[in-house]
Amino acid sequence: MRSNRSKALASDGIAALGTMCNVASPLMAEWLGHSGYDFVVVDLQHGENDLATVAAMLQALSSTPATPVVRVPSKQGMAIQRVLDLGAYGVIVPQVDTRADAEAVVRNVRYAPAGERSWGPVRGAIYGGPDYFSKAAGELLVLPMIESAQGFGNAREILAVDGIDGAFVGPADLGITLGESPEDLAKLLKRVDQPVGQIAEIAHSLGKIAGVHAFDVDDAKRRLAQGYTFVTVMADMRLVRAGASAALTALRDAVPARVGY
């Protein structure tokens, strides 16, 4: 089976860097995959992607060196199983608040007797290889999202579940459940800094991967310093907007007060 390079890097304590793909464009996914990221997350929870577009997104990523990961829209088992069947090499599962939630996630990733995933990797076996059934448990990356006060309180129990490779922290939702507003992002990030650091410590103590979303490069550097080894930095739409704004600002600064003769 094809090896999961991003999972191997993050598990070995070497930072795997990626970004989110919210736009339902295979071309965008392909560009991102060829941009040097270790992995690209096709985001079905936010943005315009859905099950009708995810297959094409994963096909586009398969032509690149980047590991194809999907953030599913919910912890519902069918969503997890279907994206794996279509070739996702990792799943990020939102709103996992308890050990029971985490155990359910694992059951939907693993085949019997360890789980209840139904056999039918219509594209997963093409991308993964002919030994997909026997090797999938070791290669597929399973990251529940810890993004609530309840999930934070249960972080050790969630991460201790066999088959859970680590956690992926959602700082925005975590901050909201701790009483902060996303309209004041600086204040929210300051509030979650300690809990986010604690989750990384718990993950390391259990030999699990610490994953997190970062809002910009400086935020990503802080998370890397906290020990996070699986980090998404921004998303395609934010990257395009930031690049466009920077180019336009630089150009406007260079425009003379009066143009013409």
- Three-state secondary structure string covering 213-231: EECCHHHHHHHHHCCCCEE
Q: What is the pLDDT of residues 160-202, one digit of tens each?
A: 999 999 999 999 999 999 999 999 999 999 999 999 999 999 9
Q: What is the pLDDT of residues 42-74, one digit of tens each?
A: 999 999 999 999 999 999 999 999 999 999 999
Q: Side chain identity at 70, as an amino acid letter?
A: V
CATH for the 5-254 domain, from 3.20.20.60, 1.25.40.10, 3.40.50.12280, 1.10.730.10 = 3.20.20.60
Task: Quote the longest CA-to-CA distance of the chain.
Answer: 79
Q: How far apart are CA 17 and CA 84, in angstroms?
A: 21
* pTM of this prediction exceeds 0.85: yes
| Residue 46 annotated among the catalytic residues of the structure | yes
Average pLDDT over residues 5-25: 98
Sorting pLDDT into bands at 50, 70 and 90, what band is 259?
A: low
Q: How far apart are CA 202 and CA 197, in angstroms?
A: 9
- Domain extent listing, the chain: 5-254
Q: Which of 34, 46, 204, 213 is catalytic?
A: 46
